[in-house]
Amino acid sequence: MPGREAGARGHLVVREATAVDLDAILALMVQDARSPTTPTSTVATPRQRAALTELVADPSHQVLVGELEGTVVATAHITWLRMLSADGGLYCQVENVRTDEAHRGRGLGGELMAWIETAARDRGAARIQLTTNRSRLDAHRFYERLGYEPSHLGMKKYLT
């Protein structure tokens, strides 16, 4: 299936996550916790392990990790959404993009996002979309440098 293959761009190796990556993914998320639903522990719960198993098995999802020399230093979660808009087009929803704080500023996030854009183009996606917390000003500048525009206002209602 196009877009599901692992590969390298520059020196970051991007691949789909496996169960052994979950603690590393959580560690990246904990470094930049901004919302009430962001994990606060680097130790995976049974529910998180079950969620990763479900996501990995679902072709509408890709949980990605980026590795440097075998160490997970970046992650992102893609959801592929078929829409009635865009003439039945496919949207690539990107969430939970994180780069290890010790490796930021080296272009790794850009490499990960380039991999995602290639996967979206390979699948014929009409657009890539993402949300980012209002307080993540560095992230806003990062996405804008990559050509993303703050075109919509995102709204959330937390249920738990």
pLDDT (0 to 100) of residue 155: 86
Closest by alpha carbon to 21, among 79, 61, 63?
Answer: 63
Beta carbons within 8 Å of 3's beta carbon, 6+ residues apart: 62, 119, 120, 122, 123
Tokens of 152: 């919509």
Q: What is the tens place of the pLDDT at every residue in 20-38?
A: 999 999 999 998 766 666 6
Q: What is the tens place of the pLDDT at every residue in 83-139?
A: 999 999 999 999 999 999 999 989 999 999 999 999 999 999 999 999 988 888 999
pLDDT category, 153, cuts 50, 70, 90? confident
The residue assigned the tokens 């890539």 is 128
DSSP one-letter code for 104: T
pLDDT (0 to 100) of residue 32: 78
Q: What span, in angstroms and rounded, lies between the C-alpha atoms of 156 and 80?
A: 20
Q: What span, in angstroms and rounded, lies between the C-alpha atoms of 29 and 42?
A: 8
pLDDT (0 to 100) of residue 1: 37
pLDDT (0 to 100) of residue 9: 46
Q: What span, in angstroms and rounded, lies between the C-alpha atoms of 101 and 57?
A: 29
Q: What span, in angstroms and rounded, lies between the C-alpha atoms of 75 and 77?
A: 7
pLDDT at 81 over 90: yes
Give me the mean pLDDT over the 44-65 stretch: 96
Q: At residue 29, what is the residue type?
A: M
pLDDT at 8 over 60: no
Q: Is the pLDDT higher at 5 or at 120?
A: 120
Tell me what percent of the residues of the chain surpass a pLDDT of 70.
Answer: 89
Closest by alpha carbon to 2, among 88, 125, 89?
Answer: 125
CA 55 to centroid of chain Cα atoms: 13
pLDDT at 58 over 60: yes
List the beta bridge partners of residue 98: 75
The residue assigned the tokens 């691949």 is 15
8 Å CB contact between 137 and 115: no
DSSP one-letter code for 66: E
